Amino acid sequence: MGSSVTFENGLVALLPRLRRFAHALSRSRADADDLTQVTLERALRSRDQWRAGTRLDSWLYRIMRNLWIDTARARTRRAKFEAPAEEGEHLGQDPRPAMDATLDLRRAMDAMSSLPDEQREVVALVLVEGFGYRETAEMLELPVGTVASRLARGRIALLQMLGEPA
């Protein structure tokens, strides 16, 4: 019972982080919440594969990332036919907290979406989620040097898009 309590508490506690990661990967907020939901469902179905004592967060991030990759092809195909990301999406119902962010979520998601998938996932894990290079490399099963070079390319592209107000 002990490990099941830990698993459930952990899942609930990690939900805000997972949802944030999903937004960093996804093109729209609806896609992000869908991705979060299928990740939770997959995690609960596969809970026997998680070993108590190992990091639950890395395990969940890996599930989310793999589900996201699985849908990558369909996503690219669909994107060609979709209208640009939803207009008029607002951050929450109370506008005040949202106004504090100098770069709003919509703009950040658009910028991330324009990165190639392999740069986007590295940027999301390191710059948004705060993982170290080595942890990121382990989650993505990549050499650390590859993580560093993809991160560099993603970062330079993001700075061009977001860095200096035109």
In the DSSP assignment, the letter for residue 97 is H
Query: Which of 47, 104, 118, 146 contacts other proteins by CB under 8 A?
Result: 104
Q: How many residues contact other proteins, by CB under 8 A?
A: 58
Q: Count Cβ atoms within 10 A of the Cβ of residue 96 and give its class: 0-12 exposed, 13-18 middle, 19 or more buried.
A: exposed
Q: Give me the helix-helix angle, 56-70 and 29-45, nearest 10°.
A: 120
Span from 32-40, 46-54, 69-77, 78-86 in contact with other proteins (CB under 8 A)? 32-40
Rounded Cα distance, 46 and 23, in Å = 23
Footprint of other proteins on this chain (CB under 8 A)? 6, 8-17, 19-20, 23-24, 29, 32-33, 36-37, 40-41, 44, 57, 91-94, 96-98, 100-105, 107-108, 111, 126-130, 132-133, 148-149, 151-152, 155-156, 158-159, 162-164
